[in-house]
């Protein structure tokens, strides 16, 4: 039991570090009204193990803490935590992995309203235009990465929730 806890904490730490590194790699395109974060592909890990939401959320918070502002830390962390939690909860009603991935993409894309709201507050960007671009960029990156994450999940033989 103790080894499992240490393993899960370590795995979440690795995921947080990987999220941070992948976001930094595409830094010019990872913030603002259009966000193409390769690291958002890691959001699909929630489908394989709901305990991984802590590492994903920590990665978002760390990046925003280092490269943005406190509102981005709060809104970005909350948006990620909410979308991951919704996928973890409602995913149990969908038997196929691809269905869970579609659900995850929908939750993340819709919840980008929080990021659009934060950008409206901080940068005075128009809410609806910003919501459209952030939701679209989130949907694109998560849709393109879904087959890759599905493949990785099969190779690594990750268990399903």
Domains in the chain: ranges and CATH: 2-29+36-156 (1.10.1760.20)
Tokens 């925003």 found at: 64
Whole-angstrom Cα distance, residue 161 to residue 22? 25
Cα 94 to chain center, whole Å? 20
Residue 158: its pLDDT value, please?
Answer: 66
For 125-156, write each residue's pLDDT tens digit.
Answer: 999 999 999 999 999 999 999 999 999 888 87
* Res. 9: pLDDT tops 60: yes
Q: How many Cβ atoms sit within 10 Å of the Cβ of residue 108?
A: 25
For 72-129, write each residue's pLDDT tens digit.
Answer: 999 999 999 999 999 999 999 999 999 999 999 999 999 999 999 999 999 999 999 9
- Asked whether 100 and 94 are in contact (CB, 8 A), the reply is yes
Residue 65: its pLDDT value, please?
Answer: 96
Q: Which two tokens stand for residue 8?
A: 């899960």
Tell me the mean pLDDT in the region 52-78: 96
Residue 160: its pLDDT value, please?
Answer: 57
Three-state DSSP state, 58: helix
- 15 confidence band (pLDDT: 50, 70, 90): very high
Q: Considering Cα of 161, then 57, then 143, then 109, what sign does the dihedral take?
A: positive
Burial of 1 (0-12, 13-18, 19+ CB in 10 A): exposed
Residue 1: its pLDDT value, please?
Answer: 63
């Amino acid at each position: 039991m103790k080894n499992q806890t240490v393993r899960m904490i370590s795995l979440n730490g690795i995921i947080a570090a990987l999220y941070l590194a992948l976001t930094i790699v595409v830094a010019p395109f990872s913030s603002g009204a259009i966000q193409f974060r390769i690291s958002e592909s890691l959001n699909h890990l929630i489908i394989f193990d709901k305990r991984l939401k802590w590492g994903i959320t920590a990665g978002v918070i760390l990046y925003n803490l280092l490269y943005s502002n406190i509102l981005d830390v709060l809104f970005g962390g909350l948006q990620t935590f909410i979308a991951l939690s919704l996928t973890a909860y409602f995913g149990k009603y969908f038997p196929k992995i691809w269905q869970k991935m579609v659900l995850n993409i929908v939750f993340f894309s819709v919840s980008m309203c929080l990021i659009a709201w934060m950008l409206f507050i901080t940068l005075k960007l128009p809410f609806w235009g910003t919501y459209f671009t952030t939701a679209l960029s989130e949907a694109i990156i998560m849709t393109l990465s879904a087959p890759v994450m599905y493949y990785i999940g099969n190779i690594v033989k990750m268990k399903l929730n």
